[in-house]
Amino acid sequence: MVCFYFSIVRILICVGKGDFIYNLYQYICFLSNTIFYQSMNRAYRHFLFLIVTFFIFVYTPSFAQLTVDAGPDKTACPGASVTIGSISPATGGLAPYTYSWSPPNFLSSTSVPNPICTPLSWASYTLTVTDDTGAVASDVVVVSLHYIVNIDAGNDTSICENSHALLGGDLNIAGAGITYSWLPTTYLDNNTLPRPTSTPLLTTTYTLTATSATCPPFIDIVTVTIIPTPNIDAGPDVTIQEGEGTTLNATGGFYYAWSPFPIVYPYTYNPDVEPVVTTTYYLYGTDLSNKCPNYDSVIVTVIPNDEVVFYNTFTPNNDGNNDTWYIGNIYKYPNNKLEVYNRNGKIVFKANAYRNTWDGYAFGEALPEGTYFFVMDLGDGKGVKHGTVTIIK
């Protein structure tokens, strides 16, 4: 450092590196408070005063800009920890530095340069550094979980006999640095696939081991349960006279569906049918899980018959079943005439060409429960039929 003092204007100019000039400035400030300074003559006091004045109004120490390095992004294995931050998290500025990490989730400390992170999920951290002058700078680092955290053997499942199940979770993918091994290999199409297909003959539990180059093996299990096929039975074949009906009777299941229509109560184990020709009825049945079906059939043989068949009850309650009085084979007698009387002999219903339409009303009013008397003229000299019918509500 070189200094030049101009006595006429009493100015000192010093040229040199900033650190040396600053040290000189500090020394002069110290000197001005000593007895030595007090004993100096006036000229020397002016000399020191001008140096002090120069540094107060002219000199400002300079420092490199504060920069922050939060370190490289990290990938952690499930349940493991990683240290974040760099070897030199802060440079430039004026030490000492103050460190602050945010958010605090999964961190051992938020105020140290290199905290330990034990992540449960992906996280982004911001490191903010403040130097001794109050300058602030920041940087960001990301901590991810290794892809092996997404691997699983899938949910336990139940399948029908002679069916198949797809093992493994939706995020099981080929690649990503992961290899797969399924045991036992029995019933599998390929035990090294991320998601193999199993076609077991009996209930089987599979163990998946997923490995990578950087993380410990991940192990998970899944069970494929076989649901036995229900023994569905539609019952024995039946023979009826034309105009009659019969009730079918199924066993072995919990849910049922019969076809073809028309069928009364087609989704029960005991539907009513009234075929006019020999008909095969097909039964679809499942167990309580409603997953595994079985099938059966029953034949209702119809013997041709011209006799009318009078059903002696009906239930007019608007439930869609047996709401009208049914007479089998009545369609064969289009010229019939029907009259119905109450116990007092009063007519409550009459019709020409009756077509199974009486709903238990008499001239617009519902009749009470009870037994009623009918007279049916079949027409064309076919004879007259008498009998009773009961309304049940």
CB atoms within 10 A of CB 267: 11
Q: Is there a cis peptide before residue 262, judged by omega within 30 degrees of 0? A: yes
Which domains occur in the chain, in start order? 2-57 (no CATH), 67-145 (2.60.40.10), 149-227 (2.60.40.10), 238-303 (2.60.40.10), 309-391 (2.60.40)
Residue located via tokens 């400002």: 60
User: What confidence tens digit (pLDDT) does each residue in 51-100 have?
Assistant: 444 444 344 455 799 999 999 999 999 999 999 999 999 999 999 999 99
Determine which of 92-101, 135-144, 375-384 has the lowest per-residue pLDDT on average: 375-384
pLDDT at residue 36, as a whole number: 42
Phi, psi of 384 (to 5 degrees): -120, 135
User: What confidence tens digit (pLDDT) does each residue in 317-356 have?
Assistant: 998 889 999 999 999 999 999 999 999 999 999 999 999 9
Hey, which residues does 347 pair with through a beta bridge? 341
pLDDT at residue 175, as a whole number: 86
Instruction: Quote the tokens at residue 2.
Output: 């070189």
pLDDT at residue 291, as a whole number: 87
C-alpha to C-alpha distance for 167 and 147, rounded to whole angstroms: 19
H-helix or E-strand spanning residue 23: helix 18-31
pLDDT at residue 61, as a whole number: 53
Half-sphere exposure of 129 (CA within 13 A, CB side): 27
Residue located via tokens 């289009």: 334
C-alpha to C-alpha distance for 101 and 83, rounded to whole angstroms: 13
User: What confidence tens digit (pLDDT) does each residue in 232-241 have?
Assistant: 999 999 999 9
Give percent of the chain above pLDDT 70.
84
Q: Is there a cis peptide before residue 184, judged by omega within 30 degrees of 0? A: yes
Of 191, 187, 184, whose CA–CA distance to 159 is shortest? Answer: 187
Evaluate whether 263 touches 272 at the Cβ level (below 8 Å).
yes
More confident residue, 171 or 20: 171
User: What confidence tens digit (pLDDT) does each residue in 2-42 have?
Assistant: 444 444 444 444 444 444 444 444 444 444 444 444 444 54
pLDDT at residue 62, as a whole number: 58
Q: What is the mean pLDDT of the chain?
A: 88
Count Cβ atoms within 10 A of the Cβ of residue 58 and give its class: 0-12 exposed, 13-18 middle, 19 or more buried: exposed
Of 356, 360, 306, whose CA–CA distance to 332 is shortest? Answer: 306
Evaluate whether 298 touches 280 at the Cβ level (below 8 Å).
yes
Evaluate whether 194 touches 182 at the Cβ level (below 8 Å).
no
Instruction: Quote the tokens at residue 387.
Output: 């009998």
